[in-house]
Chain A
Amino acid sequence: MLAGFAVQLLNGLAGASALFLVAVGLSLIFGVTRIVNFAHGSMYMIGLYVAYSLVQAFGVTALGFWGAVLGAAIAVGLLGALIEIGVLRRIYRAPELFQLLATFAVVLMLRDAVLYLWGPEDLLGPKAPGFKGAVQIFGRSFPTYDLLLIFVGPAVLAVLWLLLKKTRLGVLIRAATQDREMVGALGVNQKWLFTGVFALGSALAALGGALQMPREPANLGLDLVAIGEAFVVVVVGGMGSIPGAYLAALVIAEIKAICYGIGTVTLFGTTFAFSKLTLVAEFLVMAAVLIWRPWGLLGKPQGTVRTVAAPEAPLRPLPRAGTVVVVALLALLALLPILARDYPYLTVLAIDILIAVLFAASLHFIMGPGGMHSFGHAAYFGLGAYGAALLLKALGLRMEIALALAPFFALVGALVFGWFAVRLAGVYLAMLTLALAQIVWGIVFQWDEVTGGSNGLVGIWPSATFASKAAYFYLTLALVVAGLYLLRRMLLAPFGYAMRAGRDSPLRAEATGIDVVRVHWVGFAIAGTVCGLAGALFAFAKGTISPETISVGRSIDGLVMVLLGGVQSLAGPIVGAAAFTWLSDTIIRATDYWRALLGFVILALVLAFPQGLAGGAAAVAARLRGVR
């Protein structure tokens, strides 16, 4: 038993090295460029694919294998540099987090590129020559390659540590992590520093992927798995801290190994398989660490970033011309089911768009004016959706009552999670919201008796009154417009000013008597409640809900909508959500490689409108007025 446990700890060590290699590059990139790089997982995946192809070309010899691993790292490093120069360099001046949207587009394009180049089938690479077998440890066979991996992680850690502490490049990277404007002011070419760091980070991700060749097949799901794990490790360790990343990887990998090692335990007559905990183990760790140490295990408070983007203009009430446009748009929408009698699908699509608009607007409420970048907004969407379904199915309430009460589930969730989240800032807040959302997801996924587990709940249809698509459209339209009006009204009220004051200058806001934490907490709760309404509307529109309504994917969709529309404009989330939903629906039918096309379109929009669609339109309008 004890021996088995010891070997499980060794398994954990090997796993820690693998995790560390995925994460460390992300930490470097974030530290210097402050970019939340979603494409990091893609680099990991491509590293594994390239290594697989290279080893086929070189032959399975020791030289061929290690040559392929190294070659993959170099090739992907170059790809990273290309992406930085071609895309990211053009948008460093955009509002915070906007680069995230560009990396999201890159993820979509790279995924389809890999599918095109390597095909859909999983590709299992060869074992490493010289490390094919196992050694006996405590009477158990332990793969020699895992033994090797145990040392690779710390070795890379040591090399990076030397690089950072003993070389000029390292000095520059550390300086840029602390204060990148100062580094620029001292005459360092920031452009090449950023490109270099991005390439190095990408190469490290690819190295991590390539080293997995003997342990897992190259497959198309790796990018998302890797990016999730990498974020967790980086945040738990402390953004920008390399030793922290290793420590975090170690903690997470060991906890997982122990979960498997414990196996099934029977307590008080109920049997529990501990291995099921691995579903969300890393997110439990992340939530606990962030609540206990807001900057991660070995992290420091983030250095101030004197924002390079133009400062945000104050919000203004709608001018008369704008009111006319809004009223006209509403009238048009009200007539839609009649106008679209011959195109009944238009009504269906419009319902989805309206729900997406409310979802995005509620996220924008805390993300834009609140300055709280929630990466787990789907939690409240899902709570609203499941709340509606459970009130209808389990309690047998009428659909109308279920719809009215469902947002309270989201409110409770937002109050609890918000209480923890508003105490943090920046990317740590983002990651805590993500972790909490993942925990909700894990519970829903696992709680078969109540939530239907991975399959979800079916048969959640509207009552007879709202059964027709037109009737449901009017219901949705009325509630969405009411929700939008409520959010807007609050932003232009003193409460909204207080929230923005807390975002722009917490110290001064506190000095004027605003309880910033409390104001942000209330804002968080309001956004969650409205989001819950969107979720409930979604449930009745689809008749089915599954844990996917709470998934990371939906949270990311929300971010994409807000950023695409423009985070600094109140119309932004509305335009962004409508554009994104309509684009996805249209493009998915246009071509087999719709993912790449969607990524391409988003990328084009990102480069053309660095302020977002609504922000871009406003800028154009302002220029026209200026000309006149």
Chain B
Amino acid sequence: MKRLLVAAAAATLAVTAQAQAVKLGELNSYKAQPAFLEPYKKGWELAVEEINARGGVLGRKLEVVSRDDNGNPGDAVRVAEELVSRENVNLLFGTFLSHVGLAVTDFAKQRKILFVAAEPLTDKITWQNGNRYTFRLRPSTYMQVAMLVPEAAKLKKKRWAVVYPNYEYGQSAVASFKQLLKAAQPDVEFVAEQAPALGRIDAGAVVQALADAKPDAIFNVTFGADLAKFVREGNTRGLFKDRAVFSLLTGEPEYLDPLKEEAPEGWWVTGYPWYAIQSKEHDAFLRAYQAKYKEYPRLGSVVGYTTVIAIADAIKKAGSTDTEKMIAAFKGLKTSSPFGPIVFRASDHQSTMGAYVGRTAVRDGRGVMVDFRYVDGAAVLPSDAEVAKLRGAD
């Protein structure tokens, strides 16, 4: 009888907990970018499961209401509005594409709701267009570039060629690269620049134009299908022979794996070598992820997972789901990630999550990263005083 009562009480408690679950609104371009966002979704689902198994936050369950933003800012703003006004979510997180991320950033400011940008890379989310309601997890374009530049400067190559997709991500990556490399090595010369349209590279023509400029080294920002075409043409036409290549994001499984045995060898890249990271935090994440999904994680999985862990920690620290209290909690929040401890900086709301920098190689018919090291985001971020100048007043 007593046991029955306890069970009943527990059930009632569970029902009330369910009734006042902490609701997180999530939006992303699932159908526009399925290759990157399916692993991301699995990541945050794992985190929600783990947190709720431990009893949720503030004694309440965590619940995520997820929406597809159709890959465009107009629909994203409507979806965000729906999450806020119909679903009454406590905060928003997600987005992948930079322009969608920026739209939701501005929406958060207008509606005075907390937004944790998970994946978008554009520097503007935390700098030029940053606002007090928006925080970002993933290392930005600038940070990824800054991680590669010290290695590039060490080589003392004089003639550089750059190739990048013609939109803001590619443009700002190349601008940062030029600026940082020139600062580190003033005699550097940029001898060729190719900016094909995203998803529509004419790889043969691009590769040949780069080869004709006879550079000593190449900086590549293309990714996805463009990268696969570029690598294949480059291999066939001998572009990469005796040339140093630096390539942004290429070490992420999302981009490296489709290349299979044709993955380039010896490129300097940023990425995520899940198969070779030796750390307690990552082991635990990897085991849990593989147990649940029977497949290996991608970088998106880590981003999705860490975003929700960080949000849960922030709510715990705030002791409430009040927006102002959560913002105060996020500033300087110390939380954990599969890559180790990270901090959300109070100055620009950027987390110090870093990335792995290493070289590519082919092992057992697939591309991997070797000789890598983890670069903490804090090591490459500009100082608080510098970002204050970029951000303007909140």
Interface residues of A (CB under 8 A from B): 4, 7-8, 11-12, 14-15, 115, 120-124, 127, 132-134, 140-143, 146, 214-217, 219-221, 225, 253, 256-257, 260-261, 263-264, 273, 275-276, 278-279, 343-345, 348-349, 352, 445-446, 448, 453-456, 458-459, 461, 469, 538, 541-546, 548-549, 553, 584-585, 588-589, 592, 594-595
Contacts and interface: CB of A to CB of B under 8 A. Distances in A.
Nearest to B69: A588
Nearest to A132: B236
Nearest to B124: A455
Chief secondary structure at chain B's binding surface: helix
B158 interface: no
Interface residues of B, number: 64
Nearest to B70: A588
Interface stretch (B253-261, B317-325, B379-387): B253-261
Contact of B193 (A4, A15, A275): A275
B193 A455 contact: no
Contact of A7 (B73, B74, B208): B208
Interface string B224-241: 110011001100111000
A333 B376 CA distance: 55
Contacts of A588: 67-68, 70
B108 to A, nearest CB: 10
A278 B197 contact: yes
Nearest to B165: A454
Contacts of B202: 11, 15, 253, 256-257, 260, 278
B278 to A, nearest CB: 27
A12 B205 CA distance: 8
A364 to B, nearest CB: 21
Contacts of B72: 546, 548, 553
A545 B102 CA distance: 10
B132 to A, nearest CB: 14
A458 B105 contact: yes
B285 to A, nearest CB: 21
Given A260-B194, A455-B99, A594-B68, A278 B86 contact: no
Given A455-B99, A456-B99, A276 B195 contact: yes
A264 B68 CA distance: 39
Nearest first, the 8 closest Cβ-Cβ pairs linking A and B are A120-B34, A544-B103, A454-B167, A260-B205, A345-B86, A458-B106, A120-B35, A344-B85
B228 A216 contact: yes
A587 B176 CA distance: 42
A585 B98 contact: no
Contact of B228 (A142, A146, A217, A256): A217
Given A127-B232, A545-B74, A589-B68, 18 more contacts: A4-B209, A12-B205, A15-B204, A140-B211, A140-B237, A215-B232, A219-B224, A221-B225, A260-B196, A260-B202, A260-B205, A260-B209, A263-B209, A345-B86, A348-B78, A544-B103, A546-B72, A548-B74
A377 B167 CA distance: 24
A544 B73 contact: yes
Given A141-B237, A454-B168, A455-B124, A275 B194 contact: yes
A143 B31 CA distance: 35
A349 B85 CA distance: 11
B82 A345 contact: yes
A497 to B, nearest CB: 37
Given A278-B202, A455-B122, A545-B73, A263 B192 contact: yes
Contact of B236 (A133, A278, A279, A345): A133
Contacts of A4: 208-209, 212
A580 B81 CA distance: 19
Contacts of A541: 77
A261 B196 CA distance: 12
A615 B319 CA distance: 58
Given A141-B237, A548-B72, A257 B103 contact: no
Given A12-B205, A273-B193, A543-B106, A142 B70 contact: no
A383 to B, nearest CB: 16
Interface string B190-227: 00111111011011111011011100000000001100
Contacts of A345: 81-82, 85-86
Given A143-B237, A275-B206, A588-B68, A122 B192 contact: no
Interface string B63-94: 00001101011100110011001100000000
Contact of A592 (B30, B74, B85, B105): B30
B371 to A, nearest CB: 25
B238 A134 contact: yes
Contacts of A142: 237
B171 interface: yes
21 contacts: A12-B205, A121-B257, A215-B232, A260-B196, A261-B209, A273-B195, A279-B197, A345-B82, A445-B167, A453-B171, A455-B124, A458-B103, A458-B105, A459-B106, A542-B73, A544-B99, A546-B103, A548-B72, A589-B67, A589-B68, A595-B31
A543 B204 contact: no
Nearest to A547: B99
Contacts of B106: 458-459, 543-544
Contacts of A121: 35, 257-258
A284 to B, nearest CB: 13
Contacts of A278: 196-197, 200, 202
A1 to B, nearest CB: 8
Contacts of A348: 78, 81-82, 85
Nearest to A123: B258
B99 A548 contact: yes
B209 A544 contact: no
A263 B98 contact: no
Contact of B78 (A120, A549, A585, A592): A585
A511 B199 CA distance: 51
A544 B98 contact: no
A531 to B, nearest CB: 15
A124 B228 contact: yes
Given A458-B105, A548-B73, A215 B199 contact: no
Contacts of B168: 453-455
Nearest to B258: A122
Contacts of B211: 140
Contacts of B189: none
B262 A14 contact: no
